[in-house]
Amino acid sequence: MSTTTSAARAQTVLGNDDWWRDAVVYQVYPRSFADGDGDGTGDLSGLRAKLPYLRKLGIDAIWLSPFYTSPLADGGYDVADYRDVDPRFGTLADFDAMIAYAHELDIRVIVDLVPNHCSDQHEWFQAALAAGPGSPERELFHFREGRGDLPPNDWESIFGGPAWTQTPDGQWYLHLFAPEQPDFNWDNPAVRAEFRDILRFWLDRGVDGFRIDVAHGMIKADGLPNVGKAGDERQVMMVGRGELPYFDQDGVHEIYREWRPILDSYPGGRMAVAEAWVPSPQRLARYIGRDELHQAFNFDFMMASWDADSFRTIIDKSLMEADLVGAPTTWVLSNHDKHRHVTRYGDGPVGLLRARTGTLLMLALPGSAYLYNGEELGLNEVLDLPDELREDPSFLRTGESRDGCRVPLPWGGTPADGFAFGPAGAAAPWLPQPASWAALTAEVQEDDPASTLNLYRQALAVRKSNPALGGGAVRWLAAPAGVLAFEREPGIVVVANLSKVPVSLDAFGGKALVTSGPLTETGELPVDTAVWLQR
């Protein structure tokens, strides 16, 4: 038996401003969540209409992936106007109506902020192209002369290929992601002033926080030095690795120190969560604290392989790191960039049961949990999308595609392809839903007590009625090989059977509150199943 301390503060009643510390946040991918106007693409009016569904699910907040004006060259992570809504997703009035209703239902709203780069259709970039070399407009981005026919340096794009594209006048511009996503020059005070203003724009509209995209980006090392390639190894990964001249540079912290007083000047605990891929908890800790950001994503849990040791090691490491960083960790199993966890865990009935078990494990851990839209329906990754329908810019360059987790949610209702995404008579969804999802629609699952939807509702309700579950410590209990068992403060014991045989629950005692699948006839915990027991 051993004890692990958690970073979450010992207190069980959190002040209003601390809501994010133990929040369950539901990520909405606007294009794929709910279609309000029937054009086959999700939108803000669709989201507004589904807020009662989210309220019933029991989440505390939504995180909205980008819905700003965008050519959608990277699903909206290429923003052409930071202060407006893309017409495909609605209008600012739709945003206002959505957030007002969310707040009425006690749901907070976090929006995605994309500061490292914009869209090549952004008016600043269009002006920079038109103004030509040497102009102040080009100073807002990274334009350089090449080395003969070669780009200015050896940097590679995260999506594959060089991180530079040449313009007709011969200069090259930097884009760490797709060519349609030019990087801002954050050494320019005008860029800084613009983003301070964008923060205020959305805070004034009532947002409760920001998810900072590529939060370890923005600042590039002076002189844009070469990385120097190591053999054939792909040079660019999202992780800063300590030495990359474009990630995790010390100067990025100045930006967050400018932003924090702005967040703090608004009432009600406005927060920021960083997507920062850095090489160590020590480096991550520098992003978090009273004068920078509130929290950072921890993606390790998502990387765990399906075995008890892997989960236990990652849980212990995450909690230790959260202590080091000084803020409760986040737990994530799925998002818009990774294959859905049902599929990572083996797909089919086995993958689904494991995914439900992984979710029960996650929701019992201290800190905040981030859910990805559709995981509450047990959706799998759609692996067999026709190539010509795939839109992920990385697919064209690397063959890796994130489209399969972005297929619109099956709500049910009027048949269209067997089941509808939007309202009656709606156009087909922008990515086709597999026929097998007819059995997974929200409508089909609504009244089925054994459905994944109702499992999520049940677990979130228990979590809500036991606020101590969001904080406190994880106390590991002795358990057979391959079985994870830990106790949480309100007397809740979590047992997850990742072994190859059913296990008896006698040693743990207590009454089953939630199980990820049925127990055996003799009351044992089957393989790949988890239970929350109340002692």
Q: Please tell me the distance from the alpha carbon of residue 197 to that of residue 48, in angstroms, as a whole number.
A: 26
Alpha helix (H) ranges present in 165-307?
189-204, 252-264, 281-285, 300-303
Residue with Cβ nearer ligand GLC (372 or 532)? 372
Residue for token digits 């509808």? Answer: 420
Residue with Cβ nearer ligand GLC (260 or 336)? 336
Q: How far is the CB of 406 from ligand GLC (least distance, A)?
A: 10
- The answer to whether 107 touches 61, Cβ cutoff 8 Å, is yes
Residue with Cβ nearer ligand GLC (212 or 525)? 212
Q: Is 309 one of the annotated active-site residues of the chain?
A: no
Residue with Cβ nearer ligand GLC (338 or 356)? 338
Q: Please tell me the distance from the alpha carbon of residue 78 to that of residue 81, in angstroms, as a whole number.
A: 9
Q: How far is the CB of 222 from ligand GLC (least distance, A)?
A: 24
Q: Is 81 one of the annotated active-site residues of the chain?
A: no
Q: How far is the CB of 434 from ligand GLC (least distance, A)?
A: 22
Q: How far is the CB of 159 from ligand GLC (least distance, A)?
A: 8
Which of the following is catalytic: 78, 213, 292, 487?
Answer: 213
Residue with Cβ nearer ligand GLC (114 or 274)? 114
Name the residue number minimizing CB distance to ligand GLC: 77
Residue-by-residue DSSP string for 422-472: SSTTPPPPSSPPPGGGGGG-HHHHHT-TTSHHHHHHHHHHHHHH-GGGGSS
Q: Please tell me the distance from the alpha carbon of residue 528 to that of residue 309, in angstroms, as a whole number.
A: 14
Q: How far is the CB of 102 from ligand GLC (least distance, A)?
A: 22
Q: Please tell me the distance from the alpha carbon of residue 48 to that of residue 102, in angstroms, as a whole number.
A: 8
Q: What is the 3-state secondary structure (H, E, C) of 233-269?
A: CCCCCCCCCCCCCCCCCCCHHHHHHHHHHHHHCCCCC
Residue with Cβ nearer ligand GLC (287 or 419)? 287
Q: How far is the CB of 265 from ligand GLC (least distance, A)?
A: 27
Pairing of the two strands 24-28 and 61-64 = parallel
Tell me which residues touch ligand GLC (CB under 6 A).
74, 77, 114, 177, 213-214, 275, 336-337
Which of the following is catalytic: 275, 375, 376, 381?
Answer: 275
Q: Please tell me the distance from the alpha carbon of residue 258 to that of residue 529, in angstroms, as a whole number.
A: 47
CA torsion angle for 429, 118, 212, 188 (degrees, to 10)? -170
Residues taking part in catalysis: 213, 275
